[in-house]
A and B are shown apart, each in its own frame.
Chain A
Amino acid sequence: DTGVSQDPRHKITKRGQNVTFRCDPISEHNRLYWYRQTLGQGPEFLTYFQNEAQLEKSRLLSDRFSAERPKGSFSTLEIQRTEQGDSAMYLCASSPPVGTDQFVSGNTIYFGEGSWLTVV
């Protein structure tokens, strides 16, 4: 399977604990995105990377959230001191490099299956 891979798919944690999610993008995709989705809502943008550089962060990404992509390949999203309001599905996505094929890719992003977080 050469799609976007996320791990774990499901995580139940107690309030106050730290959790980390991992995302492996499609190979050769240099851009990687994190979104959060709660029930009945569309995905909300959290942050994105181009290679290893974190180019944009949403105001939704509080100080308890940190994302890294140290080698420009896989990425991790860590949530410290989890709160019940953090319960959501965390979606990772990737997209190919902008360049000669931009007109074809058109910033299309490809999503993983998501990681469900339940904070109890």
Chain B
Amino acid sequence: AQSVTQLDSQVPVFEEAPVELRCNYSSSVSVYLFWYVQYPNQGLQLLLKYLSGSTLVKGINGFEAEFNKSQTSFHLRKPSVHISDTAEYFCAVTRYSSASKIIFGSGTRLSIRP
């Protein structure tokens, strides 16, 4: 079975500062990895995904993530955050196979201070 651990439940940063949200996964098989963002009272929106190929994945809103197979990590980064990035971020994993559910981490709340 797959699992996801988001190491930080909350990350406060100042506006225009860089940020890294950490994610580690566990799986005995090959996986796809995702980051989703959830704004207050809304559903989840896909930020980026790793399927294969380049380990550095670029997503929307200036976010990027790096897949590290040896460390089983998929950390999310942004070089300069904006107030509008305030949201909950979820790392997720799914088995590399046909039709499989996605397993989510518990989330990291990113709060941006002016």
Contacts and interface: CB of A to CB of B under 8 A. Distances in A.
Given A106-B51, A108-B34, A40 B43 contact: no
Nearest to B95: A107
A111 interface: yes
B104 interface: yes
A102 B107 contact: no
Interface residues of A, number: 29
A45 B106 contact: no
Interface magnitude class on chain B: 20 to 34
Given A108-B49, A110-B46, A111-B43, A42 B99 contact: no
Interface in B60-107: 90, 92, 94, 98-107
Nearest to A109: B102
Interface stretch (A14-22, A48-56, A65-73, A75-83): A48-56
B30 to A, nearest CB: 11
Contacts of B14: none
Contact of B99 (A4, A31, A91, A112): A31
Interface in A70-120: 91, 93, 98, 102-104, 106-114
B45 A111 contact: yes
Contact of A56 (B34, B98, B101, B105): B101
A35 to B, nearest CB: 8
B49 A102 contact: no
Contacts of B9: 40
A1 B24 CA distance: 35
B104 A42 contact: yes
Contact of B43 (A42, A55, A91, A98): A91
Given A33-B101, A41-B107, A42-B105, A107 B32 contact: yes
Contact of A111 (B4, B44, B51, B103): B44
9 contacts: A40-B107, A41-B107, A42-B4, A43-B90, A45-B101, A103-B52, A106-B94, A107-B99, A107-B102
Interface of B: 4, 9, 32, 34, 36, 42-46, 49, 51-52, 90, 92, 94, 98-107
